[in-house]
Amino acid sequence: MKAEVFNINGKTTGKSVDLSDNIYLAEPNNHCIYLDVKSILANKRQGTHKTKERSEVNRTKKKLYRQKGTGNARHGSMNAPIFVGGGTVFGPKPRDYSMPINKKVKNIARISALSHKVKETALTIIENFSFEQPKTRQFIDLLKNLSLLNKKTLFILPSVEKNVYLSSRNIQKTKVIPATEINTYDLVNADNVIISEGALPIIESILLK
């Protein structure tokens, strides 16, 4: 398929690029998208949650009172979960939440997410660009020119552009990533995807292995 190329002023350059039909016109597989997004979010969890059990609570182990003859229920120590400040029963323990996923499923998910963006007319190709120095105002002007201000937008660049990244860092709803870090969650989470012209062959080399 053919796609128009725009410049950072939001105007068409008169050029067009060939987009791979195997990626941008593929039949989306929503279940693969679900599996990959679930895996990405699970892998982000630290899993460091922990509560103390009765053996770990720092309280006296002394028996409260004698076993018989008081008329009260029998108790061993203040560490029991029944007492305020006692140990927690079946509380969370550190664990690994990571969820492995097949590489082919991950690839299908990313291809499906991109084809969804094409169907929603939410994917735009722009010329390669860079900033001489980090300037948030310059990046805001870029968003205004593309009518994307205050919209969830993902920029995919050919490589790490430090000045572009620093210029966008303080702008809400905007994310800039290199093509090598393309992932299903970022694509699905964005309302609009802007791909730099130089990132297209890199994306194709990753997804059409």
Residue ranges per structural domain of the chain: 2-46+99-207, 51-91
> Checking DSSP bridges between strand 2-6 and strand 174-178, what pairing results, if any?
unpaired
CATH number of 2-46+99-207: 3.40.1370.10
> Checking DSSP bridges between strand 12-18 and strand 153-157, what pairing results, if any?
unpaired
- Digit-coded pLDDT (tens) for 147-176: 998 899 999 999 998 999 999 999 999 999
Q: Is the pLDDT of residue 2 over 90?
A: no
Q: Is the pLDDT of residue 8 over 90?
A: no
Q: Is the pLDDT of residue 119 over 80?
A: yes
Q: Give 81's pLDDT tier (boundaries 50, 70, 90).
A: very high
Would you state the pLDDT for residue 1?
Answer: 85
Would you state the pLDDT for residue 112?
Answer: 96
**Got the DSSP string for 115-175?**
HHHHHTT-EEEE-----SS--HHHHHHHHHHTT-TTS-EEEEESS--HHHHHHHTTSTTEE
Report yes or no: 179 and 206 within 8 Å, Cβ to Cβ: yes
Q: Is the pLDDT of residue 30 over 90?
A: yes
Residue 112, amino acid: S
- Digit-coded pLDDT (tens) for 43-69: 999 999 999 999 999 998 899 999 999
Q: Give 16's pLDDT tier (boundaries 50, 70, 90).
A: confident
Q: Give 209's pLDDT tier (boundaries 50, 70, 90).
A: confident
Rounded to the nearest integer, the mean pLDDT of the chain is 93
- Please work out, in degrees rounded to the nearest 5, the angle formed at the alpha carbon of residue 165 by the alpha carbons of 186 and 130: 115
3-state secondary structure of 30: helix
Q: Give 109's pLDDT tier (boundaries 50, 70, 90).
A: very high
Measured CA to CA in angstroms, residue 155 lies from 69, 81, 173 at distances of: 75, 52, 11
Report yes or no: 204 and 179 within 8 Å, Cβ to Cβ: no
